[in-house]
Structure 1
Amino acid sequence: MIQSMTGYGKSIVQLDTKKISLEVKSLNSKNLDINTRFPGVYKEKEIEVRKLIASNLVRGKVDMSFYIESTGLETSAKINKEVVSNYISQLEQIHKEADILSIAMRLPDVLKTEREELDPTEWTVIQEGIQEAIDHLKEYRLSEGQELEKDFKKRITILQQKLEEVISLDTERLDQVRERLKKSINELEQNIDENRFEQELIYYLEKLDITEEKVRLTNHLSYFIQELNGNISNGKKLGFISQEIGREINTIGSKANFAPMQKVVVEMKDELEKIKEQLLNVL
């Protein structure tokens, strides 16, 4: 079952004095690219969280964000009473009628911030929240992957139908090539050796033969469906198979030399391009 690289997950952790919203989102990328935004007190856990994301999400451009909302009465910012008293004393010496307290509170070092220490018990709860957000993102990826799988199967079916058209046109194509060459020879009004003509014609038609391409293309299309039905999402492997599909379609087009077949080949290329575009988003 394939998965999309696009996803979004969120969880909310409610602690005694704060609420933490955890968000994880991902977009397609060739490799794993992790970007995290951690508040200061949790910065020391960034590497640990990166490892957790890498083990779960494998590939994609991943952004993780912490949003903290204080819900308690405690705050890490405290008024520095000694500094305020000192300011007030000096201001009173300058002007006793001014709003000294208001002025003092705007002066430097009035507020001091006490460094908050990370609580191991609190971090355990946050870790569970991070895993929950990642799990929601993985569910989103799986759901998107199911939609992609339906689209891929529909387009592979169309390619198989177009290949059947190519096969049905092949006999007519070779007959027309043969007739066209004979007509060209007759228009020269020259006597020719029929045996030599047949030998040259066979040699020419062998160059236009697409039997191998038809067999290989049939196998590649079946292999693509087989990988879609597998238990592992491997977008890179599907990309390699699509390249082989494109190679066979291009070869058939270059050998076609027959307008109806070339028209079908163009339609096949159009379907394949749609598959390749969607494959960029497969994990």
Structure 2
Amino acid sequence: MTASMTAFARRETHQPWGSLSWEIRSVNQRYLEPSFRLPDSLRELEPALRQQLRQSLSRGKLDLTLRFYPAQQDKSLQLDTELLDQVIEAADQIYARMPSAAPLDPLKLLQWPGVLQSQEADHETVKQVALQVFNEALDELQQHRLREGEALAKAITERLQQMVKHLKTAKTLLPEALQKWRENLLERAAKLQVDVDPARLEQEVVLLAQKQDIEEELDRLAVHIREVTRALKSKEPIGRRLDFLMQEMNREANTLGSKAISMDMTQVSVDLKVLIEQMREQVQNIE
């Protein structure tokens, strides 16, 4: 299915040890260009996140933000009394050798590593949950991109249908334009009181018809329309292919304009180029 590169997703989870939230914003870009904003404590996750992203997306500029809010811990102090007794015993041994030493400060004991216990969350648990929530946010982003892509495909298809109508119109205009050119030539010759050789006139009409033949351009445009329609049904990324096809269609429409010998044919060329430009703008957002 057609996928847009413009999307947004947000997922979060709340755990006893805190909360995690992911925000992913995606806009159009020629290549895959992710930018991660991670807490320092979870910076090591970035390689795994990038690998997961490459497996899911092929194009787009993405801003990916992870926020981690640790839970407020119980404010009561938790002491490792066994370790504290060992520290005090060691201090007593020092006092026995140095009776003149300053008295032991209880606050200094609290600063001893391990005496004051913390209730921090297990780091590996936080990492695993962060990866899980990231995958959920990525799935949500992809669903958003597919919904946007479906709308883009519908808009492009509508314009392709309008192009088909203009191509049919162009095929009927050329004979009429040649006949009008023939009549105008005869009218000018009559005003100038010049005798026109019928054989020479028909020869000029044939030469003009050959020079202004647009069948080839119309056929190529029809082929491009079919190819765009086929690409819109593909399950693979199609943005670059569609961008190329838009360039080719615009080139053929310009050629039609250069060969126009009537205002009606010129208008058809202009209408085609307007539709192609509208589609090209939509294509810029397709993955």
With normalisation by structure 2, the TM-score equals 0.79
Aligned residue in 1 for 2:185: 181
Q: Does the Cα contact within 8 Å between 2:27 and 2:60 map onto a contact in 1?
A: yes
User: RMSD of the TM alignment (CA)?
Assistant: 2.1
One of 202, 205, 209 as aligned partner of 1:198: 202
Larger Rg: 2
1:254 aligns with 2:258: yes
Q: Could you say which residue in structure 2 is the equivalent of 1:28?
A: 28
Q: Tell me whether 1:37 sits opposite 2:37 in the alignment.
A: yes
Aligned twin of 1:277: 281
Distance in 2 of aligned mates of 1:7 and 1:181: 59
Alpha-carbon distance in 2 for matches of 1:192, 1:177: 14
Structure 1 unmatched runs, 5+:
76-113
Which structure 1 residue ranges, 4+ long, deviate > 6 Å from structure 2? none
Question: What's the CA shift string for 1:7-58, capped at 9, x where partnerless?
Answer: 1122213333110111111011111111111111111222221222222121
Q: Secondary structure at the match of 1:61?
A: strand
Instruction: Find the counterpart in structure 1 of residue 3 from structure 2.
Output: 3
Q: 1:255 to 1:14 in 2, by over 3 A?
A: same
Tell me which residue corresponds to 1:49. Answer: 49
Cα distance, 1:72 vs. partner? Answer: 3.4
| Residue 256 (structure 1) shift | 1.1
Write the letter of the residue equivalent to 1:125.
V
Q: Corresponding residue for 2:163?
A: 159
What secondary structure is seen at the aligned counterpart in 2 of 1:33? strand
Alignment of 1:1-283 (within 5 A): 1-73=1-73, 119-283=123-287
CA distance in 2, matches of 1:126, 1:273: 42
Contact 1:12 1:21 in 2 (8 A): yes
Cα shift at 1:156 = 0.6
Distance across 1 between alignment mates of 2:215 and 2:257: 13
- 5+ residue gaps in structure 2? 76-117
Kept after mapping to 2: 8 A contact 1:26/1:63: yes
Matching residue's letter, 1:123:
K
Q: 1:240-277 CA deviation, whole Å, 9 max, x = no partner?
A: 11111111111111111101221222222222111111
Shift in alpha-carbon separation, 1:72–1:6, aligned structure 2, 3 A: same
* Contact map agreement 1:15 1:122 (CA 8 A) in 2: no
Deviation at 1:167, TM superposition (A): 1.5
CA distance in 1, matches of 2:271, 2:203: 34
Letter in 1 for 2:150: Q
What is the rounded CA distance, in whole Å, between the counterparts of 1:15 and 1:117 in structure 2? 10
Are the equivalent residues in 2 in contact too, given 1:242–1:276 (CA < 8 A)? yes
Deviates more, 1:165-174 or 1:150-159: 165-174
% identical equivalent positions: 31
Aligned length: 244
